[in-house]
Structures are given as C-alpha cells and as structure tokens.
Chain A
Amino acid sequence: AQKVTQAQTEISVVEKEDVTLDCVYETRDTTYYLFWYKQPPSGELVFLIRRNSFDEQNEISGRYSWNFQKSTSSFNFTITASQVVDSAVYFCALSGNSGYALNFGKGTSLLVTP
C-alpha cells in the first residue's frame, strides 16, 4: 500500500520568511514518482514538480526547492523568501508501479501574511 503523510496541517509565516513543508511517504514499489501540487484559494490544482525514485538530486526553481531523501522517505518542499501569493494548500503525492494514479497527502495549508 502507498501512503503520503503531511504532518503539518497549517503553517503561518510572515512575508519573506523561509518555510519548509514536510512530506513523508511509504511504498513497496522500487520505481515511483513523487509530486507537489499547489491549490490556491481559487481551487485549481497546479502542478509544481515531479521527481522519480532514481533521481535524488535536489531541485531548485526560483524561490522553490525540493529535497528528496530516500533514506528517510521524505520529499520536502522549501519556499524561500515567502510571498503573500504563496498562500495556498500544498499537496504532496505519490505514484508507483501499480499505475499512474496519484495518492495524495492531506495537504498543508500555508498562510503568508504581510
């Protein structure tokens, strides 16, 4: 069975602070993919990143960075110098050998205040 745990339900930060969203996953698959999606207040789900299980390189995209560690089954997401527009619910998700469907965590609601 696959499981994604986002232990942080809600996080509140002040603009320009750095914030890290945690994601821990469980899977028996040897090949799997990890994802982050953003859901702003408007409700749509926005794809942010996909990472496969063989690529443990960290990735940086602008103010966003992702840290993938297989040893701890974690795929954490850091926003540097947060902005009000970053306020959203962020979902971590997992997909494995059994198919392409995504197993989502419960999400972390991030509030960035001015």
Chain B
Amino acid sequence: DARVTQTPRHKVTEMGQEVTMRCQPILGHNTVFWYRQTMMQGLELLAYFRNRAPLDDSGMPKDRFSAEMPDATLATLKIQPSEPRDSAVYFCASGGAGDLSYEQYFGPGTRLTVT
C-alpha cells in the first residue's frame, strides 16, 4: 500500500529555532507539493516540484522558508527562524507523471507548534 510519509508527525519548538520537515513521496511519483493548513487560512499551497525542480514557490514566505528535493525520495521544508504564526499542519502530497499529477495523495501531515 503506497503512501506518502512525513516526519516528524508533531514538532514543538521555540520561536527562533530552525524547523525541518521531511517527506517521502510515493515511489514513482514525480510531482511533490507542500501545503499548509491553518484555521484562519484553510489549506494553502506553499510550493511544488516536478522531477525535483521547483515549479512554484510563490506561496512561501521567502525570507524564512525554503523547500528542496535533494533526491527523488526526499523533499524537505525548512523554516528558519520559526515564528508563532508558523504554527500549522504542514502536508506533503505527491502525484504521478503527466495528467496523473492532478491526482494528489497526501501524507499524514506534520503538526508544528511554535511557542
């Protein structure tokens, strides 16, 4: 049963600390997305990659957030320095090639709390 995995599932950190979230997409999927869910904003896109190249990161605060795909099996989202307003659930999703990129499968999310 292929699934997207995310680590850690929960993270509590203090303001100013660096946070790294990791995602392993479904094997064979070449499109990876990062979304953030908050009560106020709902689900919003932060960035996405195709074949490890960033295609759109316009939803990401550039000064503190960065997203990378070091290889096809790992995507990372970093926040440095973290702020209380970054508290949210961060979801990674992956999609297949071509038209199948539209069908996205989500990981369980990382619940981040910044105090």
Contacts and interface: CB of A to CB of B under 8 A. Distances in A.
B103 interface: yes
Contact of B45 (A33, A37, A45, A102): A102
A99 B91 contact: no
Nearest to A95: B102
Contacts of B95: 100
A9 B102 CA distance: 26
Given A47-B104, A100-B48, A100-B101, A107 B109 contact: no
A43 interface: yes
A95 B104 CA distance: 11
B43 interface: yes
A101 B42 contact: no
Chain B facing A: main interface SS: strand
B45 A44 contact: no
Interface string B7-48: 000000000000000000000000101010000001111001
Nearest to B44: A104
Contacts of A103: 45
B109 A43 contact: yes
Interface string A59-74: 0000000000000000
A50 interface: yes
Interface string B84-115: 00000101010100000111111111010000
B106 A44 contact: yes
A75 interface: no
Interface in A71-114: 91, 95, 99-107
Given A44-B107, A47-B104, 8 more contacts: A37-B106, A44-B109, A91-B43, A101-B33, A102-B33, A103-B45, A104-B43, A107-B42
28 contacts: A33-B102, A43-B89, A43-B108, A43-B109, A43-B111, A44-B106, A44-B108, A44-B109, A45-B106, A45-B109, A46-B106, A47-B103, A47-B104, A47-B106, A91-B43, A100-B31, A100-B95, A100-B101, A100-B102, A101-B33, A101-B48, A102-B35, A102-B43, A102-B45, A102-B104, A104-B43, A105-B42, A106-B42
